[in-house]
Structure 1
Amino acid sequence: MRRIALHTRLKPGREREYDDVHATIPPELAAAIRAAGVHGWWIWRDGPDLFHLVEVEDYQRMRHELRDHPVNVAWQARMAELLDVTDDYSGTDSGLPLVWALPPASGGPTA
């Protein structure tokens, strides 16, 4: 299991719309994401900046599996209206590099 951190940015003035769209994720999308090996996905927003934490078995495999999945293609088209980013969803990235971590005292998972 890996933890992947991501950063994306919204187009100016799209914060409310982004929040509204994410209030209800289509069940088919959630199922496709889970089937691709994602165990959890969290998004925090600070103004237009979005910070994601993804717990996934294999990030590149997940991106590859979702790239052409019809429900994800539709979702990514909707997100393209809101996000100030170009992403071919190739999965060649590895997320943000980890700079520092304070591991759980129990010796739990590391990045």
Structure 2
Amino acid sequence: MTTVALHTRLLAGKEADYDRIHAVIPTELDAALRDAGVHGWTIYRSGRELFHLVECDDYAAMRAFLRDHPANIPWQARMDELLEVGDDYSGSDTGISLVWALPAEPAR
């Protein structure tokens, strides 16, 4: 399993809409994400800045699976109305580079 960090930005004034829409995602999208190998997707928001942590089997494969999925297409169209820069759907992104992480166990 891999963890990928992502960053997106909301259009000004869309914060409440984004929070409301994400309160409960469509069941079809939930199922599609799980079928694509997603084990967890957490989103943090600071103002208009969104930070995502995606835990999945294979990020590139997940993106390819969802690119034309009938549950994902309307969801992405909805997100395009809220985000400053929409997704290009190519799946070629690799996320934010990891700089440092506190190890689970201290160095000895």
TM-score class, shorter-chain normalisation, is over 0.9
Aligned length in residues = 106
C-alpha separation in 1, matches of 2:38 and 2:96 = 17
How big is the alpha-carbon RMSD for the aligned residues of Structure 1 and Structure 2?
Answer: 1.0
Identity of aligned residues (%): 63
Which aligned runs of 4 or more in structure 1 are off by greater than 2 angstroms? none
Residue by residue, what CA displacement relative to the aligned partner does 1:55-76 show, whole Å, maximum 9, x if unpaired? 0110010000000001100000
Instruction: Report matched runs for 1:96-107 at 5 Å.
Output: 96-105=96-105
**Structure 2: any 5+ residue segments left out of the alignment?**
none
Deviating more after overlay: 25-34 vs 82-91: 82-91
**Structure 1: any 5+ residue segments left out of the alignment?**
107-111
Q: CA deviation at 1:86?
A: 2.9
Instruction: Report matched runs for 1:60-99 at 5 Å.
Output: 60-99=60-99
C-alpha separation in 1, matches of 2:78 and 2:46 = 20
SS in 2 for 1:50: strand
SS in 2 for 1:6: strand
Question: 1:33 aligns to what?
Answer: 33
TM-score, normalised via structure 2 length: 0.95
C-alpha separation in 1, matches of 2:93 and 2:51 = 15
TM-score, normalised via structure 1 length: 0.92
Is contact 2:6–2:52 with CA below 8 Å preserved after alignment? yes
Q: CA deviation at 1:93?
A: 0.9
1:9 aligns with 2:9: yes
